[in-house]
Structure formats: C-alpha cells, structure tokens
Amino acid sequence: MAQVFKVLIVDDEAGMCSGIKRSLSEFRLHIEEVGQEIAFEINEAGTAELGLEKIRADQPDILLLDHKLPGMSGLDLLGTLSEAKIDILTIMITAYSSIETAIEATRKGAYDFLAKPFTPAELKHMIRKSAGRIVYKRQAQKLAEDKRKIRFEFISILAHELKSPLAAVEGYLNIVKDKVLGDDLKAYETPITRSLIRLEGMRKLIFDLLDMTRIESQQKKMELTQVDFSEVVKKCVETSHLTAKERGIKFVIEVEQGLVISADAGDIEIILNNLISNAVKYNRDNGQVDIKISSNGDRAVISVSDTGIGMTKDECQKLFKDFVRIKNAKTNNILGSGLGLSVIKKLAQLYNGKVDVFSEPDVGTTFTVELPLVQPEKEKKSG
C-alpha cells in the first residue's frame, strides 16, 4: 500500500495551483532503498493566512510556497512557522529568483526553490528529492527512537540486577542485626557467606558493565601489542584456580607454542577470563575444563570446553544477548552478571572475529572464539 504524503500549495495564482495538482495527483514515487511507494494528496490555499490555518488544522508533509502573496508574504509565513516550531519541508516557488530572497528563505528554513515558470518534470524531480529526504529523515528519527528504547530497557534491567543483590544482603544483615539465630556468630555462616557472594556478583556486574561501556562508547583505544597466549592463559587460570580446586575441577591446557596475537592484552584477558570462569562455574564437581588455543591460517582459535550442565539449542541462541542468564533449576545457585558473553561477542566483533557455541545438556559446552592474528594496521577499528 502506498504511503500518502500531503502537499499544500500556497499560491494566489489559480492556474499555478491547478497545474501542480494535475502533475502530482496521479504521480507515484517509489523509493527503492526503503521499499516504499508514495502517493500525493494535494491541498491548496490562495493566501498565506489561509495556508497557515490549513497547516494548523492538518499539517502537510510538503509545503509548496509562493513568495509573492496578496497579504502576508511567503517569507513571513515561513518565519511564523519556524517561530512556532512547525517543521514542514518547504519549497519556495518564486518568479523573482533574487539571491536575497533565497538567502532569507533558507535562513527561515526553506528546503529548496522552484523558479517560475517550471515544467511538470522539474516539479516532479523536486518532489522526488523532497520526499526522499522526508523518508530518510523519518527513518533516522525512528532509529534514534529505537536506540533510546533499547537503552531504557537496558537501564531498567540493570537497575533490577543491582537491586536484587542489595535486597539479599540487606535481608541477611537484618537477620544478623536482630540476632535471629542467637548470639553465636557461627550460626550465621550462611547469611555471611551468601552476602559476600552476592556482593562479589555485584562487583563483577559493575566491572562487566565498565568493560561493555568502554567497548560500546567507541572511545576504546586498542593498544596493540604482541600478546603471548600462553602467558594470558596462565594468568586467567590462576584467577579461577581456587574456585576450581574447591570443586575438584581440573584444567587441561594446550596452547600452540609461541603463538602470539596482535591485540590489546586487556581484551584477550577479558575474553579468556570470562570463558574460563564460565567453564568452572557451569561445570559439575570433579569436572574438567579444556583450554585449547591454536592457529588456523591467519586466525587464532580459542576453545574452552567444560563437562558441565550444558544447554539446549534454544538456550544457546539466547546466550549472547545482554543480561541473558539461562535460568533453570541447574543454574539457580550460580551467580553471573549476564553480561560476560555479550562482552566477549562485542570484543570479538571489534577484532573482526567471531564466537561460536556448541553444547549438549548434561554433557558440556564448548565456546570457540576466532580472532585474526594481525589487525589491519591502518584501520584499527575502534567501534
């Protein structure tokens, strides 16, 4: 179905009005890029005063405005509209194509000019150009609006994710304060341990959030150095070592000897840290984490597998979105910010790489991150 653009002609020459009407009433525009067909509905006014009235009653999309009118002039009308913050794409029709009028009209917000006399083809060309501009402008507005909505949604979820650990810690602290379990501190092990775990989760969320903002705000300057995988892996395994040991989980590490990548060391650390801590977190007791890093042509392939709870295909698909945490009975006691994988994905994209996941419920999950070993020097991507 065609979209209808309303065109208002403000001109005191009846012949001009009916001519324009004839040219445009059957005119159809097809704007390929957006797959939109546009038809025109023509309305007319003989004076600027009448035009203003019509605009106030039913705002047109395009205004064809004669400059020389009996009472108020076209320029005056333009001025009134801009003062009233009424934004209509306006084409000035004028017999006197004086430079002064042109400057004045542009200053007051006119989009373009049609000098009398003009042919139907010239008119249609101008209308095509104007309609295209309106369509693109509206699309841009819609995109900006969508972006705002996503932002808002993100912030609402974030607020929830920050509030819930607070509520938990507050609840535990009140139990301790009211000495619900008596005077012996030993009785409060669960409230204290759980409070610390929730606070730790909150800290992780804030750090992930900072990572993400840094990547997204495009201010991130990559400091490309030659990063030695075996060193980063060593560091990241150390970070997760204690948690793994407590649960009897062992690491099997296989890094291609001498493999280096041109990247920001901090970024590679974030990727590996997130993958390894997930592999420990979602593992079973006495399970295993396999870390394998090798080269495949000009790319590094990082693969981290666990022997844990695994996921269904549906769960895998949702995985990389912000704040998605797979919630089921098996993950109930596992804390996460819900941002870790989304951070990994954003980083991989930043480096022109990709992330894959393969998983089987109750068997385990393998995450694979592929990154180019060398970043194109000139166009260091920053966003």
Q: How many CA atoms lie within 13 A of 231 on its CB side?
A: 10
Instruction: Give the CA angle between residues 217, 197, 287 to the nearest 5°.
Output: 95
Toward other proteins, which CB reaches closer, 134 or 176?
Answer: 176
Minimum separation from the CB atom of position 191 to other proteins (A): 7
Toward other proteins, which CB reaches closer, 151 or 160?
Answer: 160
Binding site for other proteins (CB under 8 A): 160, 164, 167-168, 170-172, 175, 180-181, 190-191, 194, 198, 327-329, 332-333
Minimum separation from the CB atom of position 246 to other proteins (A): 18
Question: Which residues have a Cβ under 8 Å from the Cβ of 296 and sit 6 or more positions away?
Answer: 370
Only one residue has tokens 């005077």, namely 183
Minimum separation from the CB atom of position 190 to other proteins (A): 6
Toward other proteins, which CB reaches closer, 197 or 260?
Answer: 197
Q: 5, 62 in Cβ contact below 8 A?
A: yes
Toward other proteins, which CB reaches closer, 160 or 245?
Answer: 160
Toward other proteins, which CB reaches closer, 175 or 259?
Answer: 175
Minimum separation from the CB atom of position 329 to other proteins (A): 5
The rounded distance, in Å, linking the Cα atoms of 329 and 306 is: 19
Only one residue has tokens 């007791």, namely 285
The token pair that represents 69 in the structure block:
């009118």
Toward other proteins, which CB reaches closer, 281 or 346?
Answer: 281
Minimum separation from the CB atom of position 161 to other proteins (A): 12
- HEC profile for 215-274? HHCCCCCCCCEEEEHHHHHHHHHHHHHHHHHHCCCEEEEEECCCCEEEECHHHHHHHHHH
Minimum separation from the CB atom of position 175 to other proteins (A): 6
Distances (CA, A) of 14 to 6, 46, 73: 19, 8, 17
Toward other proteins, which CB reaches closer, 175 or 316?
Answer: 175
Question: Which residues have a Cβ under 8 Å from the Cβ of 369 and sit 6 or more positions away?
Answer: 271, 275, 301, 302, 303, 344, 348, 353, 354, 355
The rounded distance, in Å, linking the Cα atoms of 377 and 262 is: 10
Minimum separation from the CB atom of position 164 to other proteins (A): 7
